[in-house]
Amino acid sequence: MKSERVTVSIDELTATQVIELETCVRCGACANSCPVYLEDKNVLAIPALKLNELRYLVNKERSILSIIFRPRPVKAERLEEISKQSYRCTLCGRCMTGCVFGIQNRELREVLRSILYRSGYLPTPLKKIATSLSEKMNPFEANAEKRLRWIEQTGLKEVPIKERADTVFFVGCSSAFLELNQRIAFATASILNHVKENWTLLGDEWCCGNPWIAIGDQRKAQEFARHNTYLIESMGAKRVITSCAACYKMLKWKYPQIIRHQPRFEVLHFTEFLSRCIRDGQIQFSEKVRGRVTYHDPCELSRLGGVVEEPRYVLKRLTDKFLEMPENRMDTYCCGGGGFLKEIDDELRLKIGTTRIKHAEKTQAEILTSACPTCKITLIDAAKEARSDVKILDLAELVAEQMRII
């Protein structure tokens, strides 16, 4: 039984974030960018109003009254309600592009989740995921020894697991454990073999840590980051390649922040690697894709990761019928699959995904590609919901198919 009032801690909130929090004038311009609000039309989903909840908790601890006397506890019922709204978010970061002041709303949302998690207000559906991450080092309740089972299930023949290599292929949990995505890992590995890359898998790969941040446990995210970084550096690897947008964002941008030093390896998303290989002549296509093709920018790869043009470079050499979707590049519309929205409100996830499928249908494309395992699954689910005939493939799959190696 939870106590009637709870004292919260906001220690992880930086001075810059406090300034950003006070800079928000609650104009609501971000509402027009937020896919959750656009589909839900609930005023509580407006990002600026969600910041009010964080501001409320900050004032409970750092207002003038709290400093003079003591931090004031928060009613348990209020924390329950704050938690319910805070986790109804994909963490796509689109609210940041819609903010006239450039407030890093998404980062503040992560802080709010961290406060709620440490106060014991993690939504029930996410508790099982947190347990799986703690005990099995992945969010899918799969035993660690099953992480490499995708190799057998896809029939991949050449699988290097070396003590040292130039390149590490960081597979990621979604491509390793979810059958629908294992073909992405198969395609990526097959292309690495085709171009004779000196590569290896990590024998003891853990989740990249992105789910821990979405849950709100920054300390565990740091632990996972340190584990993976140590393994990769101990192999003397020059680079890490991943076909997962979330893993890319973590390895490239988050790891240096949370482990407090720059890892000694380059991080490439597989689309960046493909672009290099095509430019260098290592990958050539004997014929181009015949159907019309469009591309969905994953939020964590484009807006949060900075990889925008490389997938397009690959696609424009793969097909003469590439068509841009509405709301693309840094302004990409979220597929709905991020932030554990599926576990919190799957109906809302499918509404957002269905809107994205409709965007694809407007282009009259026959093939919808992306470069993120979570996007692939969500778009497939949304296409079924919308009864759409568009074929959904990861870009790695489409390239490997066209190379005739899978």
What domains are defined for the chain?
Answer: 5-121 (1.10.1060.10), 137-276 (3.40.50.1860), 283-402 (3.40.50.1860)
Closest CA to 85 of 304, 335, 341: 341
Please compute the mean of the pLDDT values over residues 106-130 and round it to a whole number: 94
Residue 200 is predicted with a pLDDT of 97
Residue 150: other Cβ atoms inside 10 A:
22
pLDDT of 1 above 80: no
Q: What percentage of the chain's residues is helix, strand, coil (to nearest 5)?
A: 55, 10, 40
Does residue 349 contact residue 337 with C-beta atoms inside 8 Å?
yes
Does residue 189 contact residue 160 with C-beta atoms inside 8 Å?
no
Tokens for 237, please give them. 């690897």
Residue 352 is predicted with a pLDDT of 98
Residue 260: other Cβ atoms inside 10 A:
9
Please compute the mean of the pLDDT values over residues 3-16 and round it to a whole number: 72
Residue 303 is predicted with a pLDDT of 97
DSSP for residue 319: B
pLDDT of 70 above 60: no
pLDDT of 68 above 70: no
Residue 181 is predicted with a pLDDT of 98
Taking only the tens place, the pLDDT of each residue in 226-247 is 999 999 999 999 999 999 999 9
Closest CA to 392 of 144, 149, 203, 180: 180
Taking only the tens place, the pLDDT of each residue in 344-392 is 999 999 999 999 999 999 999 999 999 999 999 999 999 999 999 999 9
Does residue 257 contact residue 249 with C-beta atoms inside 8 Å?
no
pLDDT of 190 above 80: yes
Tokens for 117, please give them. 């998690």
Tokens for 113, please give them. 């989740």
Please state, for a pLDDT cut of 90, what percent of the chain lies above it: 78
Residue 138 is predicted with a pLDDT of 98
Residue 36: other Cβ atoms inside 10 A:
30
Taking only the tens place, the pLDDT of each residue in 283-342 is 999 899 999 999 999 999 999 999 999 999 999 999 999 999 999 999 999 999 999 999
Q: How many whole angstroms separate alpha carbon 105 and alpha carbon 87?
A: 14
Residues β-bridged to residue 323? 294
pLDDT of 399 above 50: yes
What's the maximum distance between 2 C-alpha atoms anywhere in the chain? 74
Closest CA to 207 of 120, 142, 268: 142
Q: How many whole angstroms separate alpha carbon 204 and alpha carbon 227?
A: 9
In which band, very low, low, confident or very high, does the pLDDT at 210 lie, cut at 50, 70 and 90? very high
Does residue 209 contact residue 224 with C-beta atoms inside 8 Å?
yes
Residue 246 is predicted with a pLDDT of 98
Does residue 269 contact residue 242 with C-beta atoms inside 8 Å?
yes
Residue 53 is predicted with a pLDDT of 87
Mean of pLDDT over the chain: 93
The H or E element that residue 57 is part of is helix 47-62
Residue 384 is predicted with a pLDDT of 98
Contacts of 208 (CB under 8 A, 6+ apart): 170, 172, 173, 224, 225, 228, 244, 246, 247, 250, 251
Does residue 301 contact residue 343 with C-beta atoms inside 8 Å?
no
Residue 15 is predicted with a pLDDT of 83
Please compute the mean of the pLDDT values over residues 201-206 and round it to a whole number: 94
Tokens for 89, please give them. 């978010």
Residue 71 is predicted with a pLDDT of 61
Higher-pLDDT residue of 271, 81: 271
Q: Which amino acid is it at 86?
A: S
